[in-house]
Amino acid sequence: MKTLNELPAPLPAPGEPQRRRLYSSSFGLACMDAAALIVSWFLVVSLFGRVWGGEFFLLLPMLIIGQLVLGYLLSLYRNRYQLGSDHELRNQGMVAAILFTGTSLAGVVAEYREDIPWLLLALLFAQAIMVFGRQLIRVLRQLRLIPVSGEPVVIVGAGDLGASLVTQMMADPLSPYRPVAIVDDDPRKLRQLIHGVPVRGSTSSIAEVVAASDAAGVIVGISEAPAQVFASLVQRLDSEQIWVRAVPSPLDMLSSDVGISDIRDLDVTDLIGRPAAEPESEQISRLVEGRTVLVTGAGGSIGSELCRIISRHNPSRLIMLDRDESELHALCMSLEGRALMDSPDLVLADIRDFQALDRAFAELKPDIVVHAAALKHLPMLESYPAEGWKTNVHGSLNVLRAAQKHGVGRFVNISTDKAANPSSELGRSKFVAERFTAHFAAATGLPYVSVRFGNVLGSRGSVLISFTDQIRRGGPLTVTHPDVTRFFMTIPEACLLVLRAAALGSSGQTQVLDMGEPVRIVDLAKRLMAVTGRTCPIIYTGLRVGEKLNEELFSPEELDRTSTNGVSWTVDVPPLDPDSVPEPAASLEDIRSCYLSTVDAAEAPSAAAAVGPVDGPGVDAPASTVTDSGELPVIDVDHGTQTLGLSAQGRA
């Protein structure tokens, strides 16, 4: 341990070293410019054999003094501008113009008239020496600053942001990155030099540019770069050898200048081919502001994000209902920074228990209910169909009955794309919930709506979580089929669009969110490995019972659909009388019969056409495992659903 005597000497007063460096630099530049004028005088004498009179020796000191005084006044010797910059060159030109003018006016004196042209020539030479000297010093300084140990990188984007990144990298000898090439899709920028770094091609030739320049990675220097750019780069590059990184999001760039330290690794949400979520809209504020909002399943991934968004739009009260006390605890911590669990706005209840819901609704009197509670794992519900029946069907019915009984003004049922042309227990149970919602909308005349959307990245049990865990373990990554596709959204985007669609939807309608283009699961797996920089084997396990090769957003008969809000499509789902369905404890045979009458019968126009081999999205026979030849053998489509007696009919 150091004693007091061993401690380093105090630091100099703030600004003292800088003042010395500035003085030294200013004095050096002034001496350089004075020397340039003297050298130019001797240059003119030696080149043209001019013999100078005594009058000339009076003019030259005046010219030197004028250069130094004007240069000081215009900040050439006060280090206000970067050495050799365009700003400094402009002011140096102004000094030269004033000196030329003053020297020319001295020609009105007869004894000076003969010397003035030669003096102007010397002044011209001097200005050339000054410019050359400054640029030489600048180049030498830049050569000293060029990073030599940083990783060679290719910058995508030759715009302002890309040029700024190149400048910062080239000005820091300790920079972790050394730009060796730039690519840009603007053909006019091809072969340009940006701070000494050449533009060598477009993004379509990124692999060739990276190989030719021996780059270790690629940095995307494009503000608000669309996800397609990242996906395309990852697809074109060897993820085992070349990494891809990006600059911060636009919101982050507003808070601070983008620097080298802000460059980040890609997130998988950069790669799903969807634009960033839109900002929260006025429709959401008009929907929840000043109202009591109750969210079921509030502790889940969707429910908790819905609560966070709703809480930002000034509801008079936010009621969070869930059967999982641990999830409610975590939600309180994220919203309030504390979790005493004593707030009346926390309701521990199961939607299967109508009496508990009835008491909560009677006491809290919600104006809006957002129903997000559900069982959602498709394979589990295939194994335990009765549980899906109790929660997704009768649990939803309990929430709807409580909402009707206690005068809830707006009801939002969170559904899934698996309810479109359903082939699974999950899809059938959620489609019945959509039909229940349409029934209560007709009975109350109030805006009771369903919102249907696809998979959510990052939710519990999502493929992203599964892949991340498998990569952490070293693989392999399990994918059901090499051609399987799914629709994806991020959790914030899904919740924002759910609330916007709910605010704009009319009574009884099902709003189907615009999910963009479907993403191949195997591509998502490869992109995630590229993001993490690790490579794992991929094995194909075959489609599970009830799964489709390609998900759908609409059932075949849902042809009459419109989109007037730019957020979602509107489809009409036939109402279903709750009295026509069996009780929660119904047998599997009764559940089978109900699904056949409520789901298949509702889609009767397409059922007949679906019998037999049919090509198209959503009509795919599940497969089991990959054979040695790489082919996926077809398995019995009735296997695993025989307990319900469901035939394939193009959807099992």
- Return the active site residues: 418
DSSP string, 539-558: EE--PPTT--SB--SS-TT-
Helical packing angle, 116-145 and 56-73, nearest 10°: 40
Please work out, in degrees rounded to the nearest 5, the angle formed at the alpha carbon of residue 618 by the alpha carbons of 617 and 620. 95
User: What does DSSP say about strands 217-220 and 151-156: parallel, antiparallel, or unpaired?
Assistant: parallel
Cβ–Cβ < 8 Å for 201, 209: yes
Task: Produce one character per residue of 298-325: b if its CB has 16 or more CB atoms within 10 Å, e if not.
Answer: bbbbbbbbbbbbbeebebeebbbbbbee
DSSP character at residue 284? H
Q: Give the integer Cα–Cα distance in Å for 627 and 225.
A: 41
Cα separation, 40 vs 213, in Å, equals 44
Listed residue (69, 67, 60, 68) closest to 39, CA to CA: 60
Contacts of 359 (CB under 8 A, 6+ apart): none
**448 strand-pairing partners:** 411
The enclosing H or E element of 34 equals: helix 16-48
Number of H helices and number of E strands within the chain? 22, 21
Q: What Å distances lie between residue 459 and 43, 347, 454, CA to CA?
A: 78, 22, 12
Give the DSSP H/E element, type plus range, for residue 293: strand 292-296
Q: How many CB atoms within 10 Å of residue 183?
A: 25
How is residue 350 annotated by DSSP?
Answer: -
DSSP result, 181-227: EEE-S-GGGTT-EETTEEEEE-GGGHHHHHHHHT-SEEEE--TT--H
- For residue 571, the surrounding DSSP H or E stretch is strand 568-572
Strands 410-414 and 448-452: parallel
Tokens of 70: 């004007």
**Alpha carbons 166 and 193: distance in angstroms, whole number:** 11
Q: Which residues contact 116 (CB under 8 A, 6 or more apart)?
A: 103, 104, 106, 107
Residue 599 carries which side chain, given as an amino acid letter? V
CA 165/CA 175 separation, integer angstroms:
11
